[in-house]
Chains A and B, each alone.
Chain A
Amino acid sequence: MATTAESMEREQKLEGIGCSRKRKEDPRFIQGKGNYVDDVNLAGTLFASVVRSPHAHARIKSINKAKALALPGVHAVLTADDLKPLKLHWMPTLAGDVQAVLADEKVCFQYQEVAVVIADNRYIAADGVDLVEVEYEPLPALVDPHKAMDADAPIIREDLVGKDEAGQGKRLHNNHIFRWEVGDKAGTDKVFAGAEVTVKQAMLNPRVHPCPLETCGCVASFDKVRGDLTVYITSQAPHVVRTVVSILSGLPESKIRVISPDIGGGFGNKVGVYPGYVTAIVASIVLGRPVKWIESRIENLSTTAFARDYHMVGELAADKNGRIKALRVNVLADHGAFNSHAQPTKWPAGLFSVCTGSYDIPVAYVKVDGVYTNKAPGGVAYRCSFRVTEAVHLIERMIDILAQKLDIDKAEIRFRNFIKPEQFPYHTALDWEYDSGNYPAALKKVMEAVDYAGLRKEQEEKRKKGELMGIGICTFTEIVGAGPSKACDILGVGMFDSCEIRVHPTGSAIARMGTQSTGQAHETTYAQIIATELGLPSEVIQVEEGDTSTAPYGLGTYGSRSTPVGGAATANAARKIRDKARKIAAHLLEVSPDDLDWEIDRFKVKGVPGQEKTMKEIAWAAYNNVPAGMEMGLEAVEYYDPPNFTYPFGAYICVLDIDRHTGESKVRRFYALDDCGTRINPMIIEGQIHGGLTEAYAVAMGQLIAFDANGNLLSNSLMDYFVPTAVETPKWETDFTVTPSPHHPLGAKGVAESPHVGGIPCFTNAVNDAFSHLGVTQIEMPHTSFNVWKTIHELGLDKQV
């Protein structure tokens, strides 16, 4: 038997699961050798620039390309009329709707794509854009979704007039997209009718944008001789893009190669298929030259993939002790001009019905109506699983409001309603099967860490002095890892994910994945999983993603699905290899496979010290000495279809002070405890949590895609769209518990989005808590100084003394 010290040393050498090893990605990034889409430099590349609508809603009377085409260096100007013969002027969306690639007779949102200028370089292309003359007849713009279903509301989608269906069920109005209902309406209404206490609150998750630091873009290169299309693209889901491009272009998937190189952040912005991509591809096919399209930041904030815009009304029924008896939710969802939100096809409101949260709620009912407005399409999950941020926001605000009404402490009311550890697996009123959790333990740990009781005492004192101090609590449950193919698909493709591992003769390995990192360090994390499963050092395990010609088909990275789905595929693929290795080891040691024990990096013959074969030795043998009848080589592929989602959870507490003269909020303390099950690389997990909390801070305190009454954007540059600097960003305190997922091969759950999903309600609960003693129940996000001051001023708290 190996000594513990000796085996521990061998284990450490692997730098596998649980090790905070440094990232394998970093050396290229810190030396300026990353390879992002705009860095791709193919010979003879042309540049595409988009002509966009200044109007939110208008009819196009004419487009005159002559002046632009006359500009030296301009190769082509494409409009909807040029795409019509190819049937590419409209494209299908992930939500069963269609979206104009280039505006067809009318524009339905400001900055909508009207024409594309292809020129020698980005300078000439920009000049060309100014020379394209478009004559518009402005139409009244519909900006307020609450007016979308009015009798006299302007009709946005004339192409759908007369159609009572737009891909997601029955439409009740020309601007209506779908109605989605889930739960027991009658049962819920009954409980409300007889409830001791009820609370009702309207609240808004305003329209925001993921705003990754790298904008969207692509380089499309069509080889006329070979008939191959290669597309370098900023996509979180390259395989899906290839499928969509094939459907659109008619080219066989085998002739299309989609490559996601290094990506400068995604956060949901890079899931969709955008008109810019399509037009660059068409231009390349038509002109037979590589065509590059790169968004400006203003275009990015104005057109590609907004998030949220959920106008919610929540209601809770409870008894006098604050035990929740029922939840009722009505949502008006503003989807913009085209329904191109990125959700699993069968889920028009994503996974919003997880809105019963961490609480044992007997009965619930949710209704969501989606409507069109004259705003950009999108509706992506901004660093969250589909619509889960909205769901968690709703329940975490509502339980605070209930506590306020009953004058019960906001932590206490949570303990009274938590699903108890012994209730797992727990089936929710809205039909989700929570895999595992221990909510009370998490909240207790956080309360002790921050001295919750002491904070409440301090708040008492401050309130006497007229000072505003807020304590926010959020005890969220996330649902990630989409998803079981019986429930989830994208355009009919099940949401499995994949891993292919090849172990080389000398004991190094390459793994190829169907997911796509946008900064989450997959090259490191997956290598660590394989290291532990195969007993080979993570250092010599190469992980590749994003090239559809080499990687197995996968659905990509979003909704924190990489570890829950891709990570499970990796573990299972590695285990297939280990099973074969066991047979080879048995052959080499001339024993039966059952006589072998696996230990860290080798198989040992039970009870016979020294009789062992390391994985390195087995790898060599796999290419020259395998049992009779066994094929050579050491590799495996796994397509993993998860049996269920995973349900990470956490307990957060935020403490902030508000300046009653300016409305400024200063976050004094933010303590975040996350439970994502088994932790693969704690350093990377902590980094993900820092980032998620920072994006949560941005959303809660400042981010807003704002419009004026005519649909003009008011915050579409980094001057007005809030991205915090190091100075504003609070200092984060992190903590964890570990409650493994029972159905995941490693017990891992996924983590990157929890801090965003749980962070936003925690901040907004803190701001609202600062005013709750004054009877305020809801201050809407974003909590800018201006917005907070309005409440202060109405209450007269800013009076000079």
Chain B
Amino acid sequence: MIPGTFDYHAPNSVDEAIKLLSSLGDEAKLLAGGHSLLPMMKMRFANPQHLIDLNRIDKLRGISEQGGSIHIGAMTTENELIASKLLQEKCPLLPEAARLISDPQVRNCGTIGGDIAHGDPGNDHPAVMLASEAVFVLQGPGGERMVAADGFFHGLYYTELAADEILTEIRIPIPPKGSGYAYSKLKRKTGDFATAATAVQLQLDGKTCKKITIALTNAAPTALRAKEAEALLTGKSLDEALIEQAAQKAMAICDPAEDMRGDRDYKIHMAGEMTRRAIRLALSRAGGN
């Protein structure tokens, strides 16, 4: 369990990092929290010739409110998300999900940006980002571009992020006061990836569901947005029957891979169950029942 040899670079600015990335090309990898990349390197699945450590770029850390949205530096750690009063108040879905990621030590290193950019469907933030309708700021040699979370995740370990780009910031529109939210995650034990998990963000107008976003973790090669389920619930007053239909619609788009957590059948059913639970919880938090 020893990584191969590589050169180490610790830039102090994003520009510097991008320069390195462009000049070193394919053989360079970005090091964020390292808890996905370093184990892969120790197993010699990943053998980058160069590591570009983003941990010394202070600009990439921090959580702030700007206009109607929350801006989160890509190198902000999971524990910083959990501790953030701003998020707890304005965007509680994130800390709720972050609390369910790995364990305390890993959450001290693991970053929201790394979790997203890695493109692993087992990571929790991608679904949370889809449900939050987040926008990602990608910076490359040609400058910045904004990409919506919905459309960022293309395939297994394959995202919209170009080889010479860095995910620098995550922007999340602040949900209106009184919105409901929930991240329901089933795992084998503390610290494990999700067997299935669902993120829900929901607004009520009186009794009717004004808006709902539903996204699934580890149910397919990428995180999934359950749009048909959303459409089914939008504009209706939610009850168990409707929630059940929505869960069925969510299950219909699942394409999970079998592993020690369970076979496809189990994972699809669990995606359905986590969807039920997340909708119910979000509904009650929004003051519905």
With the chains together, A722 CA to B195 CA distance in Å?
14
B261-274 toward A: CB 8 Å interface, digit per residue (1/0)?
11101100110010
Contact A714–B260 (Cβ < 8 Å): yes
**B177 interfacial by beta-carbon distance below 8 Å:** no
- Name A662's contact: one of B103, B190, B273 (CB within 8 Å): B273
What would 20 more interface pairs be, CB under 8 Å, given A727-B189, A800-B240?
A: A123-B2, A127-B4, A296-B1, A297-B1, A662-B270, A714-B259, A715-B260, A719-B192, A720-B259, A720-B260, A725-B190, A725-B191, A728-B190, A784-B188, A785-B186, A785-B188, A785-B262, A786-B261, A786-B263, A800-B276
A130 at the A/B interface (Cβ < 8 Å)?
A: yes
> In the complex the two chains form, what is the Cα distance from A296 to B4 in whole Å?
16
Q: Determine if A793 and B269 form an interchain contact, defined as CB atoms under 8 angstroms apart.
A: yes
Inter-chain contacts of B5 with A (CB < 8 A): 127
| Complex alpha-carbon distance, A706 and B262, angstroms | 13
Contacts of A13 in B (CB 8 A): none
Cβ-based interface call for B44 (8 A): yes
Q: Can you report 16 residue pairs joining A to B where beta carbons are below 8 Å apart?
A: A126-B1, A298-B1, A662-B186, A662-B273, A706-B260, A720-B259, A722-B188, A724-B189, A725-B190, A727-B189, A728-B189, A728-B190, A786-B266, A789-B269, A793-B265, A800-B276
What is the number of residues of chain B that contact chain A, defined by CB distance less than 8 Å?
26
Taking CB atoms, residues of chain B closer than 8 Å to A785 are 186, 188, 195, 262
In the complex, the chain B residue whose C-beta lies closest to that of A719 is B192
At the interface, yes or no: A575 with Cβ under 8 Å from chain B?
A: no
List 3 tightest A-B contacts by C-beta distance, closest first: A126-B2, A786-B262, A727-B190
Shortest Cβ gap from A694 to chain B (Å): 13
Complex CA distance for A557 and B259, rounded to whole angstroms = 37
CB neighbours (8 Å) of B276 from chain A are: 800
Find chain A residues with CB under 8 A from B244 CB: 800
Contacts of B273 in A (CB 8 A): 661-662
Interface of A is mostly: loop
Residues of B within 8 A of A793 (CB): 265, 269
Which residues of B line the A interface, CB within 8 A?
A: 1-2, 4-5, 44, 103, 186, 188-192, 195, 240, 244, 259-263, 265-266, 269-270, 273, 276
| Chain A 390-408 residues near chain B, CB threshold 8 A | none
Q: Choose among B186, B188, B240 the residue with the greatest number of A CB atoms under 10 Å from its CB.
A: B188
Q: Does A798 contact B (CB under 8 A)?
A: yes
Q: How far does the alpha carbon of A122 sit from the alpha carbon of B191 in the complex, in Å?
A: 29
Q: Is A702 an interface residue (CB 8 A)?
A: yes
User: Closest CB of chain A to B6's CB: distance in Å?
Assistant: 12
Q: How far is the CB of A700 from chain B (nearest CB, A)?
A: 14
Instruction: Write the chain B residue with the least CB distance to A702.
Output: B188
Interface size class of A (residues with CB under 8 A): 20 to 34
Question: Is residue A320 contacting chain B, with contact meaning CB distance below 8 A?
Answer: no
- The residue in chain A whose Cβ has the minimal distance to the Cβ of B240 is A800
Q: What per-residue 1/0 map shows which CB atoms of A520-560 lie under 8 Å from chain B?
A: 00000000000000000000000000000000000000000
**Alpha-carbon distance A724/B191, docked complex (angstroms):** 10
A790 to B260: give the CA distance in the assembly, Å: 14
CA distance A722 to B186 in the complex (A): 16
How far does the Cβ of A311 sit from chain B's closest Cβ, in whole Å?
A: 21
The interface residues of chain B lying within 8 Å CB-to-CB of A727 are 189-190
Q: From residue B72, how far is it (CB to closest CB) to chain A in Å? A: 27
B270 — which chain A residues lie within 8 A by C-beta? 662
A296–B1 Cα distance when bound, in Å, is 7
Interface residues of A in 689-715 (CB under 8 A from B): 702, 706, 714-715
Instruction: Using known A-B contacts A126-B2, A127-B4, A793-B269, determine if residue A702 contacts B189 with beta carbons closer than 8 Å.
Output: yes
Given known A-B contacts A296-B1, A661-B273, A800-B244, A725 and B260 have beta carbons under 8 A apart: no
- Alpha-carbon distance between A122 and B5 when the two chains are bound, in angstroms: 13
Q: How many angstroms from the CA of A719 to the CA of B190 in the assembled complex?
A: 11
A122 touches B2 (CB 8 A): yes
* Distance between Cα atoms of A163 and B240 in the complex (Å): 68
Which single residue of chain B is at the shortest CB-CB distance from A124?
B2
Q: Chain A nearest CB: distance from B100 CB in Å?
A: 12
A698: min CB distance to chain B, Å: 10
**A78, B279: Cα distance in complex, Å:** 60
The interface bits of chain A over 284-313 (1 if a CB of B lies within 8 angstroms of the residue's CB, else 0) are: 000000000000111000000000000000
The answer for the CA separation of A727 and B2 in the assembled complex, in Å, is 30
Residues of A within 8 A of B44 (CB): 130
Q: For the complex, what is the distance from the CA of A702 to the CA of B188, rounded to whole Å?
A: 9
Which residues 445-493 of A sit at the B interface, judged by CB distance below 8 A? none
User: Measured between C-beta atoms, what is the minimum distance from A188 to chain B in Å?
Assistant: 40
* B266 to A, closest residue via Cβ: A786
Convert A616-647 into 0s and 1s, putting 1 for each residue whose CB lies closer than 8 angstroms to a CB of B. 00000000000000000000000000000000
Cβ–Cβ < 8 Å partners of A661 in chain B = 273
Please measure, in the bound complex, the distance between the C-alpha atom of A724 and the C-alpha atom of B192, giving whole angstroms.
11
Q: Knowing A296-B1, A662-B273, A706-B260 touch, does A789 contact B266 (C-beta < 8 A)? A: yes
Binary CB contact string for chain A from 110 to 152 against chain B (1 if under 8 A, 0 otherwise): 0000000000001100110010000000000000000000000
CA distance A298 to B240 in the complex (A): 46
Looking at the assembled complex, report how far the CB atom of B254 sits from the nearest CB atom of chain A, in whole angstroms: 16
Q: Which residue of B lies closest to A727 (CB)?
A: B190
A712 to chain B, nearest CB (A): 12
Contacts of B265 in A (CB 8 A): 793
Residue contact B190 to A790, C-beta cutoff 8 Å: no
A130 and B191 CA atoms in complex are apart in Å by 31
Question: Are A722 and B189 in contact, with the CB atoms below 8 A?
Answer: yes
Whether A725 pairs with B189 at a CB distance below 8 angstroms is yes
A320 to B30, alpha carbons, bound, how many Å?
72
Instruction: State in angstroms the CA–CA spacing of A308 and B72 once bound together.
Output: 50
Q: How far is the CA of A88 from the CA of B189 in the complex (A)?
A: 43
Max chain A CB contacts within 10 Å: which of B186, B260, B261, B270?
Answer: B260
Residues of A within 8 A of B189 (CB): 702, 722, 724-725, 727-728
**B contact residues around A130 at 8 Å (CB):** 44
**Most interface-central of B263, B270, B276 (chain A CB within 10 A):** B270
Q: How far is the CA of A722 from the CA of B191 in the complex (A)?
A: 12
| Residues of the A chain whose Cβ atoms lie less than 8 Å from the Cβ of B186 | 662, 664, 785
CA A714 to CA B191, docked complex, whole Å: 19
User: Given the complex of chains A and B, what is the CA–CA distance between A677 and B16 in angstroms?
Assistant: 71
Among residues of A, the one whose C-beta sits closest to the C-beta of B277 is A661
> Hey, what's the 0/1 contact readout for A155-174 against B, CB within 8 Å counting as 1?
00000000000000000000
Residue from A122, A130, A662, A728 with most neighbouring chain B CB atoms (10 Å): A662
Bound-state Cα–Cα, A800 to B192, Å: 27
Least CB separation from A130: chain B residue: B44
| Residue numbers in B under 8 Å from A714 (CB-CB) | 259-260
Q: Which of B1, B4, B195, B266 contacts A790 (CB 8 A)?
A: B266
Give A486 to B265 CA distance when docked, in angstroms: 55
A residues 12-46 near B (Cβ < 8 Å) are: none
Name B4's closest neighbour in chain A (CB-CB): A127
How distant is B25 from chain A, measured CB to nearest CB, in Å?
Answer: 23
CA A126 to CA B5, docked complex, whole Å: 11
Residues of chain A within 8 A (CB-CB) of B191 are: 725
Q: How far is the CB of B219 from chain A (nearest CB, A)?
A: 15
A126 to B260 CA separation, bound complex (whole angstroms)? 28
- Which residues of the partner chain A approach B4 to less than 8 Å between Cβ atoms? 127
Nearest A residue (CB) for B193 = A719
**Which of B1, B189, B195, B262: most chain A Cβ within 10 A?**
B189
**What 0/1 readout, one digit per residue, does chain A (754-789) give for beta carbons within 8 Å of chain B?**
000000000000000000000000000000111001
Q: Write the nearest CB–CB distance from B118 to chain A, whole angstroms.
A: 16
Q: Which residues of B contact A296 (CB under 8 A)?
A: 1
Which A residues lie within 8 Å of B259 (CB)? 714, 720
Residue numbers in A under 8 Å from B260 (CB-CB): 706, 714-715, 720
Report chain A residues within 8 Å CB of B269.
789, 793, 798
Chain A residues with CB under 8 A of B261: 786
A702 CA to B240 CA, complexed, in Å: 33
- How far is it, in angstroms, between the C-alpha of A785 and the C-alpha of B270 when the chains are bound? 10
Closest to B267 in A: A786
How far, in angstroms, from A727 to B273 measured CA to CA in the complex?
A: 22
* Distance A786 CA – B5 CA, assembled complex (angstroms): 40
* Cβ–Cβ < 8 Å partners of A706 in chain B: 260
